[in-house]
Structure 1
Amino acid sequence: MRHAEFRHHRLVQVYDAECRWGPDDDFFQAVVDETPAARVLDLGCGTGRLTVALAAAGHTVTGVDPAGASLAAARAKPGGERVTWIEGTSALLPERAFDVAVLTSHVAQFFVDDAEWAGTLADLRRALVPGGRLVFDARDPADRRWELWNPVDSQRRISLPDDGEVRAWTDVTGVRDAVIDFTHHYHFADGERLVSSASLRFRTEAELRDSLTTADFVVDRVYGGWRHEPVGHGDGEFVVIARAGRLAPVL
């Protein structure tokens, strides 16, 4: 199943157990906290790990995601009632409603098609106030992280809250024009086996900058890691901070 890790109720539990709070969450929270009591959009919020934390920090937070199973898990988290949850895409966003927008966990790479990415950036530009900030991460293609997505290097065991354990691994199934197709495999202790397939687009720094400029954003910073390292000297990431332009009108 495509994107089953976000859509299948059992795999959503596995995703939540595997993807704990980390340095990336610290980074995003620190950037958002620079704007006190901000109106925050978390686009592609998933199971709401960061979303709920931002609300607990005093921000007014909206989490948007197309996967209903992930949103159900997010709503059920302690503090989930403080967040406005929307099942859908960026097309549903209101105009000039947010001071900060975040896309975490490489959500930006799921927009494989350039037209889809451009449309999402246009929606974000419309949803942000002039000067509002957009913060997101994407893997640096020069790091070639997908070469570790194979049954040997990606083999892992994930402990679940009910004391169960899942054996998982990832396998690349295609490499085409900067798009990586892959499948996650999950074997449960009770014998059930599930898979989740997806594709990610690895854009260069220049491509990301060009797409942001076209969408009327001004790029403030691009880091290479979560400790503000320069590109090429960090975690194999592009960590982007941009501002919505002030000159172009929002139509």
Structure 2
Amino acid sequence: MSSKDYDPRIVDLYDGQNPDGPDHEFYRRLAYKHRAQKILDLGCGTGILTVTLAKDNRQVTGLDPSSAMLNFASARAGSERIRWVHGDSRSIPDNGYDLMIMSGNVAQHIPEEQWQSTLEALRSAAAPNARLAFESRSPLARSWEQWAMEPKTISNTRQGVLEEWCTVADLGAGRILLRSYNNFRDAGELVVEEVTLNFRSRERIAADLKNAGFDVLNVFGDWDETPFDSSQRIMIFEAIAR
């Protein structure tokens, strides 16, 4: 877990750039479909999805390695219904979760040296027949090439005028270094965030899940649950604990 945390201004604007939408609705449908009563949101970030899962007397845990994100999450409406935990998969409290999720970029943020152990930790925390669901971008779509061509954007935010752009570097072996530049013009400050994203293939992820003790039930290519056929940009995995 990196000691570097997010700039609070970036956290404050995060929900506006990553709003509730069809991706969150997918995870909520899973919770209702499987009558989940104990849910783990690993990499919960600002908690925008997490708090919406805490209904019908469910026990919901939001876990994240970022103190800045968790501070924001614990101050939002409905946060009192959530158990917030600072850490990564090694910090999962207790077990018996019947639904575990990793939304957004969480799966791709997990470095290679921690990927398999993360899946194994989730399996150890799972109840019998628990579901694990997460998304990951398909490496076949090569999304990072599009990111590299995106122009700068300038917007008026509650943090003042913000100019944004990014650069990408292919590190090989499915690893992409993404640098996001955030120029807070009013403050005269440039904040650069770096993250290495891991693009794993469908076959690789399925094999890793199997090795960790999960069976893949579905791989969708969109949030409407269309089966993945290698042409879509995302892969949405739904697996069950053996």
CA distance in 2, matches of 1:192, 1:229: 43
User: What letter corresponds to residue 99 of structure 1 in structure 2?
Assistant: D
After superposing the two structures, state which structure 1 stretch, 2-11 or 212-221, moved more.
2-11
Gaps of 5+ in 1: 246-251
* Alignment match, 1:225: 222
User: What letter corresponds to residue 18 of structure 1 in structure 2?
Assistant: Q
CA distance in 2, matches of 1:177, 1:92: 28
* Alignment match, 2:105: 106
Question: Would you say the 8 A contact 2:141–2:231 is kept in 1?
Answer: no
* Alignment match, 2:119: 121
Task: Report matched runs for 1:195-210 at 5 Å.
Answer: 195-210=192-207
CA distance in 2, matches of 1:236, 1:179: 16
Matched, 1:60 2:78: no
User: What letter corresponds to residue 76 of structure 2 in structure 1?
Assistant: K
CA distance in 2, matches of 1:135, 1:158: 34
User: What letter corresponds to residue 145 of structure 2 in structure 1?
Assistant: E
* Deviation by residue 1:41-62 (Cα, 9 ceiling, x = unmatched): 0000000010011114642210
TM-score using structure 2 length: 0.92
User: What letter corresponds to residue 196 of structure 1 in structure 2?
Assistant: E
Could you say what the CA RMSD is over the residues aligned between the two structures, in angstroms? 2.1
Cα distance change on mapping 1:48 and 1:235 into 2, 3 Å: farther
* Alignment match, 2:129: 131
Matched, 1:171 2:185: no
CA distance in 2, matches of 1:22, 1:79: 18
Gaps of 5+ in 2: none
Q: Choose which of 128, 144, 153 in structure 1 pairs with 2:150.
A: 153
* Alignment match, 2:90: 91
Which secondary structure state, in structure 1, belongs to the residue aligned with residue 200 of structure 2?
coil
* Alignment match, 1:248: none
Question: Would you say the 8 A contact 2:159–2:184 is kept in 1?
Answer: no
Matched, 1:192 2:181: no
CA distance in 1, matches of 2:180, 2:201: 25
**Residue identity (%):** 33
Deviation at 1:96, TM superposition (A): 2.9
Matched, 1:236 2:233: yes
* Deviation by residue 1:14-65 (Cα, 9 ceiling, x = unmatched): 2222111121111111111213352100000000010011114642210000
Cα distance change on mapping 1:199 and 1:187 into 2, 3 Å: same
Deviation at 1:156, TM superposition (A): 3.1
* Alignment match, 1:30: 29
* Deviation by residue 1:96-144 (Cα, 9 ceiling, x = unmatched): 331100000021111221x411100010001111110000000011111
CA distance in 1, matches of 2:28, 2:43: 16
May I ask how many residue pairs the two structures share in their alignment? 241
* Alignment match, 2:80: 81
Deviation at 1:3, TM superposition (A): 7.8
CA distance in 2, matches of 1:71, 1:133: 24
